[in-house]
Structure 1
Amino acid sequence: MPLFALDRSVPGLIVKIGNYPLHHGGVGAIRSLGRLGVPMYAITEDRFTPAASSRYLTKAFVWPTTGLECSDRLVEGLREIGRRIGRPTMLLPTDEEAAVLIAEHADALGEQFLFPRTDPRLPRRLASKQGLYELCVTHGVPAPKSAFPNSRADIEEFAATARFPVVAKNREAFERRRTPAVSGTTRITGPGELLALARGWGERPGVVLQEYLPREQAEDWIVHAYVDADHSARTLFTGVKVRSWPPHAGMTACAYVVPNPELATLAGEFIKHIGFSGIVDLDWRYDRRDGRYKLLDFNPRMGAQFRLFEDTAGIDVVRAQHLDLTGQRIPEGEQLNGRRFTVENIDLPAMLAYRRSGYTTPHAPRRARGTELAWLAPDDIKPFFTMLARFVRPGVKHLFQLWQGHRTNVSGRDRI
């Protein structure tokens, strides 16, 4: 049992922008706070998302967005939700767009909502590959060598001098909502392939060309933390990623909690130097060739796999933020090493893909000391079946909608 009590007068609201209904992080946050009696609300694409079916959700606000809306419209939509909730509510963004929106419009949202205040320009910079790389260079934090071409000529010059293979990624996190230059992380084997791809990138390529870190010489590590107003990590966790989907470039499919004091110190000092406050989810890659941890991504918000991490006091990053923003003490505890997190719908294909990949994680324990499943929970079973209905095939989804129809008509779902 947790060694603390949360202020149940302050609800939580899951804030998401864009269409990605199968998000286990939002479900995890609803359960984490809801199990301790905190009223939970969520923005959902429709009435039949896993988050909307959780027994711990007080109300779902159906508000389909694309990420292309103007910020004034999104801010006013959030404020309308705040008026409907009717009391100060803690915001929990699940994507970069939501985190940036909240930071850049803190004054407009601050009357109705609670959230950590940070430099309003910082989350957008951290969500940008170029912005993050520049911060890493400034503060001496290792990162994969990166180039940011601004023209076709820049790409031709890079192709003539670079060491291949390289990796191409979209420069800005928000490009996935528009027409992205590349689909996810793309490995490019030589100059000819790069120049051929670049024909579709336009006059101003929105890509970053990054050093390739061979998977057989690398390990993927993750750091999650809650950082207070003084930019100090009040709780910080380290773990190793065993599998992701898509392989080696996507979200965590399976990971373990593993102590890593060196990485914890590196991450904590970087966070403090840049002056960030709030929940963070950092992706690092350990390069065995030079023995350095290199920062790949800095997500200025709750990560989908945050429930991997909990300490002996029952604290995760979401609970830590709620305690801090409501003026309560965050109890100290040690991270539960050996704990495993598995995302059921993507770990099986990931497991098959990794069999011949050459990727190894020698630091991962051979046996888990407890497993947290992303979807299946004995006390909250419906999100699992809702996920299956949407993930497996449309016919199953349709049957589930018919079964749920009467209940959702009277369960208090609101549309924005």
Structure 2
Amino acid sequence: MIASEPGQRTERPTPCVLLAEEVWGSTLHAIRSLGRTGVPVFVITAGQGSTIYRWSRFCVAAQDITTSDPVAFMDRTRAWLDQETSPDAEVVVIPLSDRLVEYLHKTRGSTPERWKVSIPTPSVTETLLDKALSLQVAERAGLEVPPWMEVRSVDDIATTSDLVLPVVVRPTRWSSTGEDYFKVKLCHTEDQLQSVMTDAIGTGAELIVQSYINAPDEAVEFAISWRSNDRSTTASCTGRKRRQSGLEGGVMAWGETVDLPDVATGAVQFLDESGFTGLGGIEFIRSDGHLWFIEFNPRLEAIHFLATAAGVDTVLMEYNNRARGSVPPVIPVQSPAAGWVGSAWLNRLNHRPGDWRVALTDRRAFARAQRRIKAVMDPRDPLPAAMVLARLVSRGLRRVSNRRSS
């Protein structure tokens, strides 16, 4: 509970509800950041992941909701929260994925007044959920953006002919992937690009086709950012990836915080131009004297726990701002820290077993870091990691069994 003056009643912390996916590390560290300060934390998972989260000592309750309809999802969320919390009490609601930001955005008109929702204004949210509009924001902000084209129909396919191969193809937003869901595809040849675009557009996809910046993993740099609801206060933690899950990109397998003034400046330029408030993350690639803007995520960055380890807990800042209207009196200065994402490394080794020597070398480098944090494991909250390990072992055994039976 939050301390109060002598003779006054103790103020109960406003509950926080995390709308999550099956992204274990991001959600677990958000639970821990809040729960350690006494905040009652509830988790709703879009899918099947609540079993993992409810094993955390800092999670009050967790629930799965499997519908993909935004209205039905939010209706069930509202009903469950009314059962688990006082129907008259305020709650802070923080979405942890683009999909869940869009669910909240689409159902704003029916959002209960007691919900303090961690998304920006309607126009800002709509802009930043669309990758094409987000790239335009970056260009207006003065950031360097690799050449790109928007492909929303068959007629637009020809416009990509001026782009130099290889190129990356991405949906304009999570809901515009068509029938074949994907995040990004790398195309090395014209035939491959034409096939990817034609197939995707044929199933209703809307795409961004952009020049691929060929650079090593450690060229990928980021800023984990937060801006107060009144836009008066900004915090960010910069760093770089040291290894990614795939050879041509992917999520961070391990990385570290590094003071990168030009990345921090670029993040502020983007926030200023977009009008964004809340939790977000921006990614750049440093190559041949350029700092290329790659993307901005208008929600809590999955590797936010790395910023927390560096002393910049953006989750707690956002909660306090939404719950109490407060901002930090002083923005913390980031410290050196390193983060390890075991699941990303498993994915890399699954596709490239020969990289086990690279993994050992990276693990030794990670072990030398002054401050270290792992995506899932926390010795003060060990049970979720045990459950994740059990699930991974079970999946592995099923795959082996299926291979033998086939």
CA distance in 2, matches of 1:137, 1:333: 28
Aligned to 1:10: 14
Partners of 2:354 and 2:136 lie apart in 1 by 32
Q: 1:375 to 1:252 in 2, by over 3 A?
A: same
Contact 2:256 2:336 in 1 (8 A): yes
Q: Does residue 1:340 correspond to 2:356, yes or no?
A: no
Which runs of no fewer than 5 residues in structure 2 stay unpaired? 1-9, 399-406
TM-score if structure 2 supplies the norm length? 0.82
Alpha-carbon distance, 1:368 to partner = 1.3
Structure 1 residue 15: Cα displacement: 0.8
Paired amino acid for 2:285: R
Normalized per residue, the structure richer in helix is 2
Partner residue of 1:303?
301
| Aligned match for 1:319, one of 296, 316, 319 | 316
SS in 2 for 1:215: coil
Q: Would the alpha carbon gap of residues 375 and 117 (structure 1) be closer, same or farther in structure 2, given more than 3 Å must change?
A: closer
Does 2:188 align with 1:186? no
**Change beyond 3 A, Cα 1:170–1:280:** same
Question: Are the structure 2 counterparts of residues 163 and 100 from structure 1 closer, same or farther at C-alpha, using a change threshold of 3 Å?
Answer: same
SS at match of 1:250: strand
Q: Is the 8 A contact 1:90 1:115 kept in 2?
A: yes
Output the aligned Cα RMSD.
3.1
SS at match of 1:390: helix
Asked whether the equivalents of residues 221 and 283 of structure 2 are also in contact (C-alpha less than 8 Å), the reply is yes
- Shift in Å, 1:341: 0.9
For 1:300 and 1:254, locate their aligned partners in 2 and report how far apart those are by CA, in whole Å: 22
Residue deviations 1:6-52 (CA, integer Å, cap 9, x gap): 97521111113xxx434321111111111111111001344763212
Q: Which has the higher contact order (CA 8 A, sep 6+)?
A: 1
- Alpha-carbon offset, residue 104 of structure 1: 4.5
Task: State how far apart, in whole Å, the 2-side matches of 1:173 and 1:339 are.
Answer: 31
Structure 2 vs 1, CA of residues 307 and 22 (structure 1 numbering), >3 Å: closer, same or farther? closer
Which runs of structure 2 are paired with 1:335-414 in the superposition (5 Å)? 335-350=333-348, 367-394=368-395
TM-superposed CA distance for 1:59, in Å, is 0.8
Structure 1 SS opposite 2:75: helix
CA apart distance, 1:153: 4.5
Number of corresponding residues: 375
Report how far residue 243 of structure 1 moved: 1.8
Aligned-pair distance for 1:99? Answer: 1.5
For residue 280 of structure 1, give the secondary structure of its aligned residue in structure 2. Answer: strand
1:9-408 equivalences under 5 Å are: 9-16=13-20, 20-44=21-45, 45-46=47-48, 49-66=51-68, 69=69, 71-84=70-83, 85-86=85-86, 87-106=89-108, 108-116=110-118, 118-159=120-161, 161-175=162-176, 179-180=179-180, 183-203=182-202, 206-216=206-216, 219-286=219-286, 288-289=287-288, 291-310=289-308, 314-325=311-322, 326-350=324-348, 367-394=368-395
- For 2:49 and 2:201, the matched residues in 1 are separated by 39
Letter in 2 for 1:186: K
In the TM superposition, what is the alpha-carbon distance from 1:302 to its structure 2 partner?
A: 0.8
Classify 1:331/1:390 alpha carbon distance in 2 versus 1 (closer, same or farther; 3 Å). farther
Whole-Å separation in 2 of the counterparts to 1:124 and 1:344:
33
Shift, 1:157, TM fit: 4.9
Deviation at 1:332, TM superposition (A): 2.1
TM-score by length of structure 1 reads: 0.80
The one-character-per-residue Cα deviations of 1:73-100 (angstroms, maximum 9, x if unpaired) are: 2332232233221121111101112113
Runs of 5+ consecutive residues of structure 1 not aligned to the other structure: 1-5, 398-416
CA distance in 2, matches of 1:366, 1:384: 19
Cα separation, 1, equivalents of 2:72 and 2:354 = 43
Amino acid at match of 2:124: L
Q: Deviations over 1:82-136 (max 9, x none)?
A: 3221121111101112113334544532512113462213223212221211222
Amino acid at match of 1:90: V
